[in-house]
Each structure stands twice: as structure tokens, then as C-alpha cells.
Amino acid sequence: MRFSLDKFESEKLKEWFKTKDLSAYSGAIGGRFTYSFTPTSLGTIVKVKDGLDDTTIDLTDYESW
């Protein structure tokens, strides 16, 4: 199974990344951001969690459902 971000989700994520200190140390192997894709009967819910400050953004374009 393969998941990807569409143009709307990518732009929303780029804006969210602008509020983050991407140079902050996040461990020897990285892994700071967790991408979650949840398929439903209506569409796929897409969320990204920042492991440093425990915030999450919902990238799902519910209008396209």
C-alpha cells in the first residue's frame, strides 16, 4: 500500500513547517515527524505529528470528500 500527499496537503504542511524550528535536534536517526494515513470509506485522513512539541496537524481536505 502506498500513501502520498496531494497538492493541497503539501502546501498546508509547508505552511505548518514554517512555524517549526527545523534545525532543532531530534535524535541520532531523526524521526521527529510521524505521518499518519487512515483510510476510511469516504477518503483518507492525513495527520502529521511533531515529536518534539507533541503538536499535530490534520492535513485532510474534507471538502474533497
Q: What pLDDT tens digit does each residue of the chain (65 aa) get?
A: 899 999 999 999 999 999 999 998 888 888 999 999 999 999 999 999 999 999 999 999 999 88
Q: How many CB atoms lie within 10 A of CB 50?
A: 18
Q: How many residues does the chain have?
A: 65
Look at residue 5 in the predicted model and tell me its pLDDT: 95
Q: Which residue has 505521518 as its cell numbers?
A: 35
In the prediction, which pLDDT does 1 show? 83
At 28 the pLDDT is 84
